[in-house]
A and B are shown apart, each in its own frame.
Chain A
Amino acid sequence: MELQQNHFEIFGLPVSYEVDRQALAARYRELQQEFHPDRFAAKSDREQRLSMQYAAQINEANNTLKDPVARAAYLLQLAGVEISPEQTTADGEFLMQQMILRERLEEVRDAADPEAELGELGDETSALFREQQRVFADALTANALDEAKSALLKLQFLGKLQRQIETLEEDLLD
């Protein structure tokens, strides 16, 4: 048999966008206590190999549920909606807003106080991210899958922007 439960079932969590992070972390540790290859180091080769597969799957499930964008994509996948990597949002207003944010990011280095400007940009991006998370959660609950998909595409955009902000922050620190 395979670990055929979906990621939420593995951790005994309800299938929902809201995830109890503490319950997830605790259950994750419990499962790894049981299945991690370290528990099988003195067992047969076959059991060692199986345990590695299970541990990898538990890790994969944990990573997906921990990450707000990956979790959203996974929930849509469970609902039968696949997102290809090339797909992008068609919301013109949103794209315009993104362009402005990106331009500001590019100009951060020339700002009078780059760190403060970057901090502000980070806060704004986080607020937009949280807003789309709410849109996604509501749409999913209402089974409005198109709307949820549109929110996910925006989350992907914003998540990428957040990472770029972090990278620049790191460069500025050095």
Chain B
Amino acid sequence: MALLQISEPGQTPEPHQRKRAVGIDLGTTNSLVATVRSGSAEALAAEDGSVILPSAVRYSGAGVEVGLAARAAAGDDPYNTLISIKRLMGRGLADIKSFGEQLPYRFAEDRGGMPSIETAAGAVNPVQVSAEILRVLAKRGADSLGGALDGAVITVPAYFDEAQRQATKDAAQLAGLKVLRLLNEPTAAAVAYGLDKSEGGGDVADKTVAVYDLGGGTFDISILSLSRGVFEVLSTGGDSALGGDDFDRVIGEWMAAEAGLGNDLDAATQRKLLNAACAAKEALAQETVVPVAYGNWAGELSREKLAELLDPLISKTLRACKRALRDADLSAEDIAEVVLVGGSTRTLRVRERVEEFFAREPHADIDPDQVVAIGAALQADVLVGNKSREDLLLLDVIPLSLGIETMGGLTEKLIHRNTTIPVAKAQEFTTFKDGQTAMAIHVVQGERELVSDCRSLARFELRGIPPMVAGAAHIRVTFQVDADGLLSVTAMEKSSGVAAEITVKPSYGLEDSDITRMLQESYTHAEEDIAARALREAQVEAERTLEAMLVALTEDGAELLSEEELGALERAMEALRLAHNGGTAEEIHKRIESLNELSEPYAARRMDKSIKRAMQGHSLDEFDKP
């Protein structure tokens, strides 16, 4: 019998080592990071013991401050202290002007309608600001888990459009995180509650649940069907610009009116009013009436008055609930359980009206501030390969229809809202003029008929179409939305088989070159230099690739590969190992690429084998029946 191998504590040998994965809730008001340890998920605390990181970033001559200290400065230093930055993610300058009064920043145009904000430390864009918050959380995760993170799941509101999702992923990249998945917040909450399990821990039969998620700046409603570890989102809806901030705003406006202040308030006054409004709102969870004051004015706010002020906003959320139910072909009675998520569901009036609408008492036992991060941590643990809950699978949907612009400024929907992702749709286009070699496709997202009423996502330019007479070229364009809800487009001329070249111009997003530039900028005052980081990232990628290959080969290498193929793969692996141990980032990437290419047929055979296995138990004559 072999001797037992015992390694030093914390140094379990590869590849059985537990991976370091975290779930991050990047919220409008607060952000959190959580991880799975000894089988259960917990939010991670900073050194001072606080779990919540206020999503506030303050720029000053002395540097960047994130969190509580930054938030405290918001009243006195409103232009340099950026809060609620999530509301600006993936948005254009024009969108921002429409809610400009609520965000007292000095906006400037960056590029192509993208906003940037003037601060004491220069101009910054929303992606950079979000990256600062993510950096703090990533560091907290790495410190707490004792090493660099292998990956993170980052949550986004279910109702985020493609541009908002892409901006979030860009921010994570900028913060040096490997994004395992962008996860919808309501889905994360459902996972955290483990609603697919009965009290005793066993599986329950299929049931339908609703997750009502009202955060600081966004509202989401999701209807999910749960069955043996599979969380299938049936429909989702919401408003990506409605949340507790709006509660504060209407209370603040009421206070300003009562106090006889004019409409034209400066940034500091606005901020102080909003802070007072927020404090009054929170105090009303315990008291039935609270005193409010601003300057020389003093008054009081009762629960009744609060309900009157908030009801129009809450009604808006319930209308979205109705629509989501309709999209799922269900009515409120079909919902077995309701979950409340988001700090704004602490407001009693919200609870009352949700309970009334669904005619059942909602779950709120997990801290509504932590529940999303905890769900994200559970999924991150599964995705990174730590087998905590092997059966857990999340099937999510695209929240808004994707379409293209056609003649006359109309949209033609290609992928309808609430379609399960990943999804691919092909569409054929033809040329309008003889000899035409290029065409432009404008992709929009939204439900309305007019392009001008939808959100512009990107313009794709197809080039390299073989010149033919008008209408002869058939260009097949495939729109693919991946499991993160992100879009990619490929094109092919059918008769010639020529792949058309595609240039993407995101309407409100960053191009790869922007990210590279911002990465470089972020290292001008950082201690590590960009080359060192690139090398480390390449090494991690190499380790990941080698490990995946090793696991695969152990499973079925001998079964699926000839000796010759196996030998070639092993040589490519050895070459990569050598590059990993002493090569440059570029050399490592080259080796990874060649190993990937060489293993392509093997990957296909493995997939093929999985298909055969999945088809087992279904006899062939089942397929033969007419």
Q: Which residues of A contact B (CB under 8 A)?
A: 1, 3, 5, 8-9, 12-16, 25, 29-39, 41-47, 50-57, 59-60, 62-63, 166, 169-170, 173-174
Residues in A whose Cβ lies below 8 Å from that of B604:
1, 50
Give min CB distance, B498 to chain A, whole Å.
Answer: 21
**Which residue of the partner chain B has the closest CB to A53?**
B424
A52 engages B483 (CB within 8 Å): yes
Which 9 pairs across A and B sit closest by C-beta, in order of nearness?
Answer: A12-B618, A42-B385, A41-B383, A14-B625, A46-B603, A56-B424, A37-B483, A56-B422, A29-B230
A12 engages B623 (CB within 8 Å): yes
Stretch at the interface among B125-133, B208-216, B605-613: B605-613
B447-490 to A contact mask, C-beta < 8 Å, 1/0 = 00000000000000000000000000000000010110000000
Residue among A5, A13, A33, A46 with the most chain B CB within 10 A?
Answer: A46
Q: Which residues of B contact A (CB under 8 A)?
A: 19, 151, 180-181, 227-230, 232, 319, 322-323, 326, 379, 382-385, 391, 393-395, 419-424, 480, 482-483, 544-545, 548-549, 552, 596, 599-600, 603-604, 606-608, 610-611, 613-615, 618, 622-623, 625-626
Tally A-B pairs: CB < 8 A.
122
Bound complex: CA A63 to CA B422 (Å): 12
Residue among A9, A35, A47 with the most chain B CB within 10 A?
Answer: A47
Give min CB distance, B313 to chain A, whole Å.
Answer: 15
Residues in B whose Cβ lies below 8 Å from that of A15:
625-626
A36 engages B395 (CB within 8 Å): yes
Residues in B whose Cβ lies below 8 Å from that of A57:
424
Bound complex: CA A56 to CA B419 (Å): 11
Residues in A whose Cβ lies below 8 Å from that of B603:
44, 46-47, 50
A32 engages B393 (CB within 8 Å): yes
Residue among B229, B421, B614 with the most chain A CB within 10 A?
Answer: B614
B625 engages A33 (CB within 8 Å): no
Residues in B whose Cβ lies below 8 Å from that of A170:
322-323, 326
Contact of B608 among A1, A36, A44, A173 (CB under 8 A): A1
Contact of A41 among B384, B391, B618 (CB under 8 A): B384
Given the contacts A12-B615, A36-B395, A54-B607, A59 and B419 also touching, CB distance less than 8 Å:
yes
B384 engages A42 (CB within 8 Å): yes
Given the contacts A45-B596, A56-B480, A33 and B393 also touching, CB distance less than 8 Å:
yes
**Which residue of the partner chain A has the closest CB to B424?**
A56
A63 engages B420 (CB within 8 Å): yes
**Which residue of the partner chain B has the closest CB to A14?**
B625
B600 engages A46 (CB within 8 Å): yes
A46 engages B596 (CB within 8 Å): yes
B611 engages A3 (CB within 8 Å): yes
Residues in B whose Cβ lies below 8 Å from that of A3:
611
Residues in A whose Cβ lies below 8 Å from that of B326:
166, 169-170
A56 engages B423 (CB within 8 Å): yes
Contact of B422 among A39, A42, A59, A174 (CB under 8 A): A59
Given the contacts A32-B393, A63-B419, A44 and B545 also touching, CB distance less than 8 Å:
yes
Bound complex: CA A51 to CA B422 (Å): 10
Bound complex: CA A59 to CA B607 (Å): 17
Residues in A whose Cβ lies below 8 Å from that of B385:
41-42
B424 engages A44 (CB within 8 Å): no
Bound complex: CA A50 to CA B449 (Å): 34
Bound complex: CA A36 to CA B181 (Å): 12
B322 engages A44 (CB within 8 Å): no
A42 engages B626 (CB within 8 Å): no
Bound complex: CA A6 to CA B394 (Å): 25
Give min CB distance, B548 to chain A, whole Å.
Answer: 5
A35 engages B610 (CB within 8 Å): yes
Given A29-B232, A51-B607, 14 new contacts (CB under 8 A): A1-B611, A12-B622, A14-B626, A16-B625, A33-B230, A35-B610, A36-B393, A38-B394, A38-B483, A42-B383, A43-B552, A47-B607, A50-B603, A55-B422
A59 engages B421 (CB within 8 Å): yes
